[in-house]
A and B are shown apart, each in its own frame.
Chain A
Amino acid sequence: MKSGRLAGEGEHWRSLPPMSDEALVTLAGLEAILANARPRVIAALVRHFNSVDLAEDAFQDACERAIRTWTDDGVARDPTAWLVVVARRSAIDGIRKYRRRAGLLEAATSVEKPPDPEEELLLQLDQNELRDDVLRLMFMCCQPDLPLHDQLALALKVIAGFPVDKIARAFVVQPKTMEQRITRAKKKAASVATRLETPTLQERARRLNAVSLMIYLLFNEGYTASGGDIHIREELCEEAIRLARLLLMLFPAQAEVMGLLALCLLQHSRRRARIGEDGKLIALEDQDRGKWDPSAISEGRALLEKALRHGRPGAYQVQAAIAAVHCAAPTSAETDWREIEQLYAALEKLQPSPVVSLNRAVAMSKALSPEAALRHLEPVADSLSNYIYYHTTLASLFVETEQFDAAWSAYERALQLGPTDQQAGHIRDRMRFCEDSKIKSAPIVG
């Protein structure tokens, strides 16, 4: 190849001959490009056809054609636009064939010509339109009358293109059951979609909130659940991160979307450290911090910093800030608990919940005193009475204040709330510790 061509012509790599005996792009490369384009293409097609099934089929056809064409000719300059054009045409062909078979259309000629690159340019994929399309597709999946797992399953299937059996494994159900649930969810979502017009500013904000929450819950599904296949759980987290990235790319000035992505990245940065070789979760303070992913941490921090410039705090930003403080501590002992306590206080105001108060109490016990933490927990005692972590936290606070009887009772209550085997073992150890300590401290008290 002559030098000079590389720098000059815009379309040079279309006609670039293979550098070696391999094809221009490997199948894995093509699949990565197609998977990356999927949410946008499906979103544009769903709006165009008003049918998720038709959009998915047309996308599938377009991908097959893309693999055939791009392997020899190189990847289209704008894969998303190419796929939308080809998918639309394939769907229209499908409708024509159907009509012809039904005798509705006479002697129509098939439109089997290869896609014209010029057509890509003619197709005006209006970026504003496209971002509302993607938002609309995501919003469609998170309809509140769908159970949460069905919302997430639908999003994974339609937006991310996860195969049904993988989704079934992630939610620990039979593939057949999952298939039925997705079909049902799709119908429900489709009935909503027909009514989703181009949003007003207010409506857009509402959709952004709902979609952000769905992404957050998808991340948590992968992050917090203890059962199931670890690899699939990790994939859920990664998919949530991808969706958050996409949302932020489309809505670049949304501080809470930055916060959401930052939060996911900062939590995900600990993925290699938080699960032991035995598959069990390792508590934050016991993790090998050398295994935390520094690039995820720095990207999370960069996004958080950007978000804070807006001066519009929100729950995701504050949670991301808390995660960032943890990530900033070289050792557990060096954690800035005072800062974390203040952040939880802010979170309590933004998004009051007994669990947030519980977390704040933990931070208080480290930053202030266990007594202060115990006082802080009093008002939420009733609402947390069935929450296992409330009782284990309460118990450790009692131990710290040397109220061993109370600690023992709190642990006993925790045991009744169905701990995992690992937790139960730990709780029993602590109960024995309480008994021993009581005996030791008895003469002094007496």
Chain B
Amino acid sequence: MQYAILIYGIEGVFDRLPENEQERAIEKHRELQRELGEQGTLGSVARLMDTTTAMTVRQKGDSVLVLDGPFAETKEQLLGLYIVECNSMDEAIEQAKKLPLEISAYEVRPVGWGGGTLAQPAADV
């Protein structure tokens, strides 16, 4: 079963941490990626650019609007994500807990189905 670990936090805060704290946080990510990589359970990982770089595509009436900015203005922003292969939600949560929890929160969400070369297809799809 695949799970998405969605990383939420306030944009701009990480950048204000002292360098050693940034490094400590990044090291936790590296460790998890190393571990999952060795197990072969890392689907993909992405750090997203700021929401100011985002564009949103949506239908309005007969036309398709392409708007500047993220889908929604939120207090915390989606900063990045992991797709991991785990046996259970519990296990996925244990993986999320290895990530730096100080200034980020993690939404752990089962993947319905997936494909492509970046994410392994989910089992039984």
Contacts and interface: CB of A to CB of B under 8 A. Distances in A.
Binding site secondary structure of chain A: helix
A304 to B, nearest CB: 10
Interface stretch (A51-59, A101-109, A241-249): A241-249
For chain A, the bracket of interface size reads 35 or more
Contacts of A16: 101
Binding site secondary structure of chain B: mixed
Contact of A7 (B12, B16, B108): B108
Interface string B96-118: 11000111011111000000000
Contact of A32 (B14, B50, B53, B55): B14
B17 A32 contact: yes
B105 A299 contact: no
Interface in B69-85: 69, 73, 75
A24 B104 CA distance: 11
B35 interface: no
A302 interface: yes
A19 B101 contact: yes
Contact of B49 (A31, A80, A252, A299): A299
Nearest to B102: A29
B105 A13 contact: yes
Contacts of A306: 53, 55, 68
Nearest to A131: B73
Contacts of B97: 6, 19
Interface residues of B, number: 36
A16 B104 CA distance: 13
Nearest to B94: A3
A35 interface: yes
A31 B103 CA distance: 11
B13 interface: yes
Contact of B89 (A4, A24, A249): A4
A347 B66 CA distance: 28
B75 A78 contact: yes
B53 A29 contact: no
Contact of A253 (B17, B51, B67): B67
Interface in B18-76: 18, 21, 49-53, 55, 66-69, 73, 75
Contacts of A303: 52-53
A185 interface: no
Given A24-B102, A35-B16, 10 more contacts: A6-B97, A6-B106, A13-B105, A26-B21, A32-B14, A36-B13, A242-B12, A252-B52, A298-B49, A302-B49
17 contacts: A3-B93, A6-B93, A7-B89, A13-B105, A29-B13, A31-B16, A36-B13, A77-B75, A242-B12, A242-B15, A252-B52, A253-B67, A253-B68, A261-B52, A299-B49, A303-B53, A306-B68
Closest 6 CB pairs of A and B: A252-B69, A32-B16, A253-B68, A3-B90, A252-B68, A302-B53
